[in-house]
Amino acid sequence: MKRLGILISGRGSNFEAIADHIAAGTLDAEIAVVISNRETAPGLEAARRRGLTAIAIPSRGLDREVYDRRLADELEKHQVDVICLAGFMRLLSAGFIRRFANRILNIHPSLLPAFPGLDAQRQALEHGVKLAGCTVHFVDEDLDAGPIVLQAAVAVRDDDTVETLSARILAEEHRLYSEAIAIVLSGRYSLDGRRVLLR
Ligand code: GRF
């Protein structure tokens, strides 16, 4: 059974969706550890309620290299095959990314490369796009930038607010992340430059 390490900073609804897919048998994997850089992340409590190993490794005041080494050591200790960033609000250092090359995924609430960074749904709404959505991608050293595994589009409605649009995107995120994880775990893909070719 392939082992996932999940990194969160907050609510953890994407983590919970992954756990639900595993419980329902629609994703063949196990969650080895959930780690948050914030002790108060609600997702940590949710993970403990599910009987999972959930750890806080506070990042405050730590040098990035030092923090990332600590994080990587913890993930290796739990023998994770793939690392899923699920609302993890930190950039990872080159050293960390090299240690887990092509084994780190992120989910972002926009159709990348549009609207990287914070408040992607607000950026999309304010730009006036007609299609918004979400992206699961491999993580490289740049923010929200690595090779794209899967995307899902959501139509923007005239009466959308940041909240209503975010909620519809989030529903897609909860489906898409597990699909992308399944592809990566099964090895049913190849990397051709930036392109992730599905087999
Ligand atoms: C999601 O919108 C995700 O795409 C973004 O951060 C948010 C995390 O939400 N990276 P949650 O903590 O998974 O509920």
For residue 105, which of 71, 139, 134 has the smallest C-alpha distance?
Answer: 139
Same fold? 1-101, 107-135+142-191? yes
With a cut of 90, say whether residue 190 has pLDDT above it.
Answer: yes
What is the per-residue pLDDT across 74-92, written as a single tens digit (0 to 9) for each?
999 999 999 999 999 999 9
Report d(CA 178, CA 27) in Å as an integer: 7
Classify domain 1-101 at the CATH class level.
Answer: alpha beta
Q: How many of the other CB atoms lie within 10 Å of CB of 118?
A: 9
Beta strands in the chain (DSSP E): 3-8, 30-36, 54-56, 82-85, 104-108, 131-138, 148-155, 189-192, 195-198
Mean pLDDT of 48-63: 96
- Tell me what the pLDDT averaged over the chain comes to: 97
With a cut of 90, say whether residue 58 has pLDDT above it.
Answer: yes
Q: What is the DSSP letter of 109?
A: S
The H or E element that residue 193 is part of is: none
Mean pLDDT of 174-194: 97
Q: pLDDT band for position 199 (50/70/90)?
A: confident
Ligand 1 proximity of 10 Cβ (cutoff 6 Å):
yes
CATH 3.40.1280.10 for domain 107-135+142-191, yes or no, is no
Q: How far is the CA of 186 from the centre of ligand 1 (A)?
A: 24
Q: Supply the pTM of this predicted model.
A: 0.97
Active site residue 108: yes
Domains of the chain, residue spans:
1-101, 107-135+142-191
Choosing from 21, 78, 108, 127, which is the catalytic residue? 108
